[in-house]
Amino acid sequence: MHTLVQWLLASIGAMGYPGIFLLMAMESSVIPIPSELVMPPAGYLAFQGKMSLSGAILCGTFGSLVGAYANYFVSHYLGRPLILKYGRYVLIPPEKFERVERFFQQHGEISTFIGRLLPVVRHLISIPAGLSGMNHLKFSIYTLAGAAIWCSILAGIGYVIGENQALIMKYSRTALVWVVLCSIALVTVYIWWQRRQRRH
């Protein structure tokens, strides 16, 4: 692990901001590069004065958007026609797909935002967004918002802690727990608000 972190530090240091952008784009698509191994080293390089912390966060955030759009377009232009044509053979009949599509059209914003904050889900949330043809402006805004928060947390951890990978992983897990709890609270408020709106 230490060797991997040293390699990432060297790679990001050599490639600079484009390296952060590229690695986070890969992380947000289907290539399993954990963001916990990309943004903290970038934060540490910012602490050393080798790059700007805000610049690193911006590159990580927009890289995440590009990776998310890769999944969005693949699912929209390839996955959607396949599901509509062959979905009934894999337990996704048209009526079930339509229900999923309606759900995401109604709740796509909160789903995209929360999804960007959660492990595993952040790689997958672009797929239902693409399948349902979610509005590009909304998809971009909520993807950027969620990615910016997560990139800021990880870069901040690297900026404060440095290259101690054990501490980085410890505080990253702690941050993730708090993010999950905040996400649950946000979803709870959202559900309450939706029910209140329906009653009125």
Q: Kindly report whether the global pTM for this prediction surpasses the value 0.75.
A: yes
pLDDT in tens, 130-158: 888 888 999 999 999 999 999 999 999 88
Say what the pLDDT of residue 48 is. Answer: 87
Q: How many domains does the chain have?
A: 1
Residues of the chain with pLDDT under 70: 1-13, 32, 84-94, 163-166, 200
Q: In this predicted structure, what is the pLDDT of residue 119?
A: 77
**CA pair distance 56, 42, nearest whole angstrom:** 6
Q: Which domain holds residue 26?
A: 2-199
Residue 51's contacts (CB-CB under 8 Å, 6 or more residues apart) are 16, 17, 42, 45
